[in-house]
Structure 1
């Protein structure tokens, strides 16, 4: 027992001795160095554990976010291919997934990291009701399917028609512009001729004084009568001067009467002629103005024709025609047909009038006034000669000569510029020959107007289908959803435009060609890689219902349309509503058929141009082509109501359905924001969801702690100095991780 007590004492003495000895300094230094190493290693070990803990926390947060996003609305995805929050609470999913990333603490197993879940929560930052989010999901859904479907089902059918439609659009647009200018020009030239005739009619007023072979006065004095009686007048004057017997016969009364009649006739003739000359000058000014306007319009016609001859490369037609589209249909339209259309356009040159023609006509108008001015000068000279002749120094020979010159001047005017004068008749015949084809053209234009009226009445019949109140209530509900979504996205609503707005058949044909050009440009954009708008369109056509045109057979066949009211429900025309945006049961269908009419008219008018090219006169060809186009378009509309489709063209016998045309019409409408709003409204109406509340992007925040093994105080200093994130509480290090992720 004593030994045991003594033994530690001996060890203590030896230890103290060694420390006090000279050799003990080495041991002290070793202890100090070991302590420093231990301190550094402790810090490094805990730092490494914290780094590992932070990585595990990040992985746990990512796992939680992915798990939270897996809770999407299955019905919304299955029906519309869209991802939005739904199902189990995402906070619970996030927390459960995060916990499963760490094994539970156990006394039997050694754990380098004793991680403990503290808290977590989910925040939403994107919703499906936003247009940019909606668009991204749609593009993702359609990025593989849309280009293939559209190219094989639509573009391949229309490629063969591109070149012929391009040529048809060029010629029809040019001919229609020329037609308008031509009609205006001819009206001005007709006005010029009418003004010339008015001047000729005015020139007939002095004719009562000057009978000639084409004009004979019935009553009253004439120049010829006055001149013929002049010798008698001189005899009366001489007899009266030699009269000495007051009882002898007196000629004073006869002399006075003759002088009065002669002066009155000469004065009236001169005054009337002066007034007619002034009238000529006024009419000349107006005629030259009309002629100048006709010349200006003629020059515009020339410019239009020249511009149409320029190349059309780079247009949608041209780009699509040059595209290499697999499975493209073949066309029976030959290069000769296309050349024939070009020849029709080139024949428009025959409608032009040359600069020399206008210069000649201008001289002629002025010469008419100058010719009449010569007669007026003779009338003034005759008055002067008559006044001299009535005096004692008068000469019958001079008076007779002046009368002859007066008559000659008048006859020269009448023979050239009278109503039956050579110049007037020549211009009238020239006008008639130039407008020889206009009579037939006007008949064709009247026929086209009648056909267009029939089609308008037919399309108007769609809007008169009796509307069911229940259907209108659904449209009102969708309208409210649509407006709410626009407000959510801060988009201003624009009014939808109705189709079939052009005023006459010619304008309708040109507008139809313009619409077709927009469609072909859209197809070319798709093939060139401009994808977004086409992807959105294809999404709508694949995910939403379209109207069945066969249901309109009752309207187009003049049957009772009463039963059609039930077919006009919104669930039968979802695509049409998204495309046009009319909030009533018939507006969208009427708009779709209006554009269907326009597209068919463009194609059929192209055919009509080929069929009518042999008629010669370019404007007659245009009118006949439009009549052909309207007649065939009417047949096409009836075909859609019977079978739901119609052949693309006489030269491309492939069937194109009403649904296919809707896909094309979407290329013409660029109100993307409004169409997205209507798409969202339609989805909300069908699902009962509110997409503005459907989360598509989330951020998850995870809070966790890990135990510290060695020096919590040192680690706490590091966090306060900003050398280490998080914080230290007791002997545990706390960290927070925030991770964001979305479906799109």
Structure 2
């Protein structure tokens, strides 16, 4: 009984319960303390990794930043910097009690972004230029063009319409000239084949009475008398028969020729009518479409300097409208072609009348010489033949009323053609001089060393494209060149199209599409451009030409190379010169329309405006070769530099992977770096541990469930953190 009494006794029960509950509380408290220390350690490790990756990124390539404003990892070993920064987080200077005694188990740094990636490169360029662009494009460039928006729109519409109409007009007039020539040939065939025979026929009719008298005299001779007129009678008969026969044959041949030439003439007339209808369609279409909306969008801008879309030649805009309205007068009515077609048919019909009269005369000759006295019939048929012939000749011969009227009408339409053709010939000649100069630039000699540099840059560009998986079939883009086969009018039309694209691009920039602007400004201010004063040296020869040739090294024309992408040393500079001339031609042609408005005839106005544009553009190129700048227009008196025009050409040609690849290639050439190996983003991986104070076995069980986000190893909690960071 005594032993069971012990267990049933109440003495000391509270103490045992207290011990048990206290042990449980200590267990839970220990567990919570280590969990709290692990949580604090996790945060400290994360902060250590962040500090380490920032320290690793602090080592950037100074030359790359100073020259191009780009950040790329360089200098001190990035893994070492990461490890040092992390270590400083574990070992602060104070030596007191430390709740956490973390240590680094392992660490390393990897790259996850490189500057050679086009997206990364472009992002850095945008960030660099967005805050550091040295000029405001809106004020410096666009505001100078806004006052010209209306005038350039009108000029572009006029050149586009009149140049297309001019080509069709010349073709139409060529066809109509051929129709008239066929009419003249028909009349000439008539005159040459029948004219003399008609006169012979008239003579035969007038000599018939003598023929009758000869026959009567011989018939009334005496029995012993010989015929006195046998030879004369036979001669007359032979002459009459042969004339009638030849007249009939020639008339039939001429009539057949008329029909063949009529068919040719009608086919040419139909072609002329088609060209005429095409002229009308083009005039109507271009009136409805107008010019590019870039002009209108620029015209609506209100800029910071107070400029607005009011053009500089407000009172003179009517000159463009007058020229386009006058284009309607160049179009012939459909009724005109119908009347001409009827005229061709009437000419053949009139020839048929002559043929019929000749046939009637031949029958009268046969009857008259066959023994019947048909002097009246013969005389009448010869008279009808003569009347039919002269009626035809009066209308269609050299001075015929129909032919003369057609010739006068043709001459009236072409009254200004001689002066127009003279203007066009002069414009083509002067344009040829510009082409020769551009060709001389492109063919500059002694470029062996420069060519090697361009080849090396080309390889870098191709490698960049390949890395970014953006290579295309043609690695060279090229710019606008002056095609030697094109005439001045077509060249002016292309110039107007180029400036329309430029206005659209500027409107985009002003309306908020800023990324292309920032990239273009980066190109302008971070790369070198050609000295425009050297343009004039190429035509001087001797030492001046040698100076031009020696200046074609890549380091003197980086902007031009990035813009056009030719890998021949002189090609990019020649392209820039040609494009600069093209833009000046568009602006000066606009002025030429206003200056030539009094000439009246639209095609004459066009030719005079183009000649004015070419002559003044050549003078502008001389000015920019001397001063480096040129006045935009007499209607917008603002000075633009060669560099400003390069800005416009960058807008004109747009961007893309190939331009970015060329920028990277030039940077790599100048810095001797390979941007595909230059890191801009790093990932740092830190594996660290902290000692556990209580119950490591129990914490290991918790770790196995994944609740702690790490693992327990040798009485230490271990975790891995990966942090990524980049320059932007």
Shorter-normalised TM range: over 0.9
Tell me by how many angstroms 1:273 deviates.
0.9
Tell me by how many angstroms 1:244 deviates.
9.3
Give 1:152's match in structure 2, choosing from 115, 139, 159.
Answer: 139
> For residues 139 and 625 of structure 1, what CA distance do their matches in structure 2 show?
42
Helix, strand or coil: the match of 1:88?
Answer: coil
Tell me by how many angstroms 1:182 deviates.
1.1
Give 1:649's match in structure 2, choosing from 633, 642, 658.
Answer: 633
> For residues 359 and 488 of structure 1, what CA distance do their matches in structure 2 show?
67
> For residues 365 and 489 of structure 1, what CA distance do their matches in structure 2 show?
69
> For residues 77 and 141 of structure 1, what CA distance do their matches in structure 2 show?
10
Matching residue of 1:735: 719
Matching residue of 2:514: 531
Matching residue of 2:364: 385
Matching residue of 1:562: 546
> For residues 721 and 224 of structure 2, what CA distance do their matches in structure 1 show?
150
1:496 aligns to 2:478 (yes or no): yes
1:34-45 to 2 correspondence within 5 Å?
35-45=23-33
1:211-360 to 2 correspondence within 5 Å?
211=199, 222-234=200-212, 245=223, 248-249=226-227, 257-310=235-288, 312=290, 315-327=293-305, 333-360=312-339
Matching residue of 2:556: 572
CA distance change for structure 1 residues 243 and 657 in 2, over 3 Å: closer, same or farther? same
Give 1:128's match in structure 2, choosing from 115, 126, 130.
Answer: 115
Check the 8 A contact 1:556/1:638 in 2, yes or no.
no
More divergent stretch after superposition (727-736 vs 601-610): 727-736
Tell me by how many angstroms 1:31 deviates.
5.5
Tell me by how many angstroms 1:18 deviates.
5.9
1:4-23 to 2 correspondence within 5 Å?
19-21=7-9
> For residues 49 and 575 of structure 1, what CA distance do their matches in structure 2 show?
59
> For residues 244 and 91 of structure 2, what CA distance do their matches in structure 1 show?
135
CA distance change for structure 1 residues 332 and 22 in 2, over 3 Å: closer, same or farther? closer
Matching residue of 2:106: 119
1:332-376 superposed Cα distances (whole Å, 9 cap, x missing partner): 833211122221221222222222222211111111111111221
CA distance change for structure 1 residues 563 and 179 in 2, over 3 Å: closer, same or farther? same
1:259-658 to 2 correspondence within 5 Å?
259-310=237-288, 312=290, 315-327=293-305, 333-393=312-372, 395-467=374-446, 469-490=448-469, 491-492=471-472, 493-501=475-483, 503-557=486-540, 560=543, 561-658=545-642
Matching residue of 1:685: 669
CA distance change for structure 1 residues 473 and 643 in 2, over 3 Å: closer, same or farther? same
Helix, strand or coil: the match of 1:499?
Answer: coil
> For residues 551 and 394 of structure 1, what CA distance do their matches in structure 2 show?
99
> For residues 435 and 252 of structure 1, what CA distance do their matches in structure 2 show?
63
CA distance change for structure 1 residues 514 and 145 in 2, over 3 Å: closer, same or farther? farther
Check the 8 A contact 2:255/2:352 in 1, yes or no.
yes
1:410-441 superposed Cα distances (whole Å, 9 cap, x missing partner): 11111112222100011001111110111111
Give 5+ residue unaligned stretches, structure 1: 1-13, 212-221
Tell me by how many angstroms 1:253 deviates.
6.1
Number of aligned residue pairs: 720
Check the 8 A contact 2:147/2:311 in 1, yes or no.
no
> For residues 661 and 564 of structure 1, what CA distance do their matches in structure 2 show?
20
> For residues 371 and 137 of structure 1, what CA distance do their matches in structure 2 show?
85
> For residues 290 and 18 of structure 1, what CA distance do their matches in structure 2 show?
139
Tell me by how many angstroms 1:592 deviates.
1.1
> For residues 414 and 648 of structure 1, what CA distance do their matches in structure 2 show?
62
Tell me by how many angstroms 1:46 deviates.
2.9
